[in-house]
Structure 1
Amino acid sequence: MDLKIFIKERIFFILINIVTLAFSVSLLRLLNVQWFPIIFLTVINFIGMLSFHIYDYIRKKKYYDEMTINLEALDKKHLISDVVEEGKFLESSLVYNIISECNKSFNDEISKYKRNNSEYKDYIEIWVHEIKTPISSCRLIIENNESEITKSIKEEIDKIENYIEQSLFYARSSTLEKDYIIKKLNLYEIVGSVINKNADFLIKNKVKINIDNLNKEVYSDSMWLKFILGQIISNSIKYMNKKNSELKFYCNENKEGIILSVEDNGIGISDKDIDKVFLKGFTGENGRKFTKSTGMGLYICKKLCEKLNLGISIESVEDKFTRVSLIFPINKIMNFS
C-alpha cells in the first residue's frame, strides 16, 4: 500500500481538520483565551489526528500487503479467496465479500463449463461409435463389389475414419489422465502395428518403409501412442511428392531418454512455418498448396505428448526431409518400473 496514495485519498479530510482547528484557534482568541491553553489544545488535537491516521495506515497496509503477497504466491490467481481473511476495518470486509462472491460465481461457471464439456465429450464418443456401423457396412459393400470406383470410395472412407478418430482423441485429450494405462511397450511392435493399419495408404502412395534399431522398451499408453504415430504418418504421406518416397523409423538413446524418430523425404517445411506447426489450426503454405489440411493433427499430438510426459520435436529442410521425434524420458521410464 503506497503512502502517497493513502495521503491523497485522505487529503480532503485532513484539510477539513486543519480548517476546523484554525477556526477553533481564532474563536478562542476572540474569547480572550490565553495562548498556552490554545497551543496545548491544538497540539493534543493534532497528535490525536496524526495518531489515528498512522494507526489506520499501518493496519490497512499490513492487510493489503499480505493480500498482495498471497496473490503473487498463487499459481492459480482465482484461488485468492481461499487465502484471504476478512480484516477488522470496513473496506477489508467489503473487499473480502466481493472476492468471495466473485469466486463463488467463478466456480459456478467452471462447474457449468465442466458439465457442458462432459456432455459434449460423451456425445462425441457415442457419435463415433454409432457412425462406425454405417462405415463398416460401406466397407462390406466395397469388398463385395470391388472395382476402381469402390477402391476410390474406400480411400475416402479411410480419410473419414482418420478424421473421426482425430475428433474422438481430441475430445478425450482434456481428460486423458482418467483414460490411459501406462505399461511397458516395445517400439518395434507399436510401430509395426501402426504401419499395418496404414498399409493400404502407404502402398497406394508407393512409400518405402525403412525400420532401424526399434527394439527398445518404453513405458506409455499403447492406444494413445499408436494414435500419435498414426497422425505423424498421415501427415508425412500428405506432403510426399517424390517417386521414391521413403518413411524411416529409427531410435536413438542419450542421457535424456529414448528418442523415436519418424523421418520422411517429402517437401519439407519452410523456416517461417517450422515454429508454428504445433499451433492449433495452423496449416502453413504446404497445407494450402498441397492438401486441404485441418491443422489439428500435430496440435493434438503435442497436447497428448504433454499429457503423457513425452517430448515431441520437429526438424525440417525444404525439399529434403521432415523429422518428427518422440522423446521418452529416462526418469519417467524409471518411475514406472
Structure 2
Amino acid sequence: MEQQEVITNKQIIFRDYINGFPKESDMIFNTSATINLKLPEGSNGVLVKNLYLSCDPYMRSRMSKLQGSYVESFTPGSPIVGYGVAKVLDSGHSNFKNGDLVWGITGWEEYSVITNPEALFKIQHTDVPLSYYTGILGMPGMTVYVGFNNVCAPKNGEYVFVSAASGAVGQLVGQFAKLAGCYVVGSAGTKEKVELLKNKFGFDEAFNYKEEQDLDAALKRCFPEGIDIYFENVGGKMLEAVLLNMRLNGRISACGMISHYNNEQGEAVRNLFHIITKRLLVQGFIVFDHYHLYPKYMKMNIPLIKQGTIRYVEDVVEGLENAPAALVGLFSGRNVGKQVVVVARE
C-alpha cells in the first residue's frame, strides 16, 4: 500500500450569496484545509496543483442565487471555482498522466480534485506563457473567436466598435478586427487604457467613456458613417448609444453586459426599436457551446502569437490570498488587461 501524504491546502471560500457589488469580505482565505496528495483507489478523477487562476466578469453572476442561468451558483462555504491552469499530480483517468499541464475549471485553492476531467484541455504548446491559457489561449480567446469571427462575420473595410476594449476579450477583438481589414474603435475607462488600445493593440481610435458627457456624440465623432459591428461587453447606456449609431444590417455580438451584473433588478435599455428599423442581427452566445472549435482556433492563433502579430497584456497578481481583491477589482475597472492570479509557478 502506497504511503499517503496529507498536506495543507489553502483555499478561497465563498461566504454567501450577495446583492450589488462584490466585496473582498464575501470571500474567506482559509489556511486550515488539508488534502491527500494521492487519489483513492478506483477514482476516475484527476488531482492537480493549481498554477494560475483566471478572474472573469461572469463569476459575479455565480455569487448570486441563480435560476435558469447557463452556470450554477457558487456553493456557500465551499471554494470558489473558475478557469485555471494546473499540473496533474495524480490521475485515475486514462486521458491524463502525472506531469501533464491542463487548463479548465478548477478550484480557487492550491490543490484540486477534478471529478469531471473530460472538461479539461491538455496543454500541448508550452513554448508560450502558461498564463495565456487563462486568456488568449483559453476561454476568453475562444469567446472572441466565436463571437467575432462566427457571429459577426467581419468583412474588409467594415466599421467595428468594441466596449471594455482593454480587457481579456476586448483587446483581442480589436486585433482580430484589424487582421480582418476593419476600422476599429474601442472604449475604456482610463487614459492609460486608451493609450494602450491605440499604441499597443493597433486600434484606429479609442476614447475614455468616463470623460464623455454624451456617448452618442462620442460614437458619431468616431463613426461618422455608422457602425457595422459592435462587440458588446457592457450593456446599459453604451448599448443605447450604439443602437443609435448602427448601420443598416449591422451585427451585434452579445458577449457580456458588465454594467448589469451588480444590479439585481436589471437595467432597462432604450432605443431597441432600431434593431427592427436597421435590420440588425443581435446574437447572444455562450462559449461552452463551441469548444469543439478549439483545435481550429489554436491552429490559427498559435502562429500569430509566436510571430508577435497578436499582442496580449496581463494584469498579474501574486498569491492566492490576493485573489479576492483581484476579482473585485474587475468591477471597478482596476485591472489593465487580463486579470490573472499566480498560485504557484511551474
TM-score (norm 1): 0.24
User: Taking CA–CA contacts closer than 8 Å with sequence separation of 6 or more, which of the two structures ends up with the larger relative contact order?
Assistant: 2
| Structure with greater helix percent | 1
| Structure with greater strand percent | 2
**Which structure: larger Rg?**
1
TM-score (norm 2): 0.23
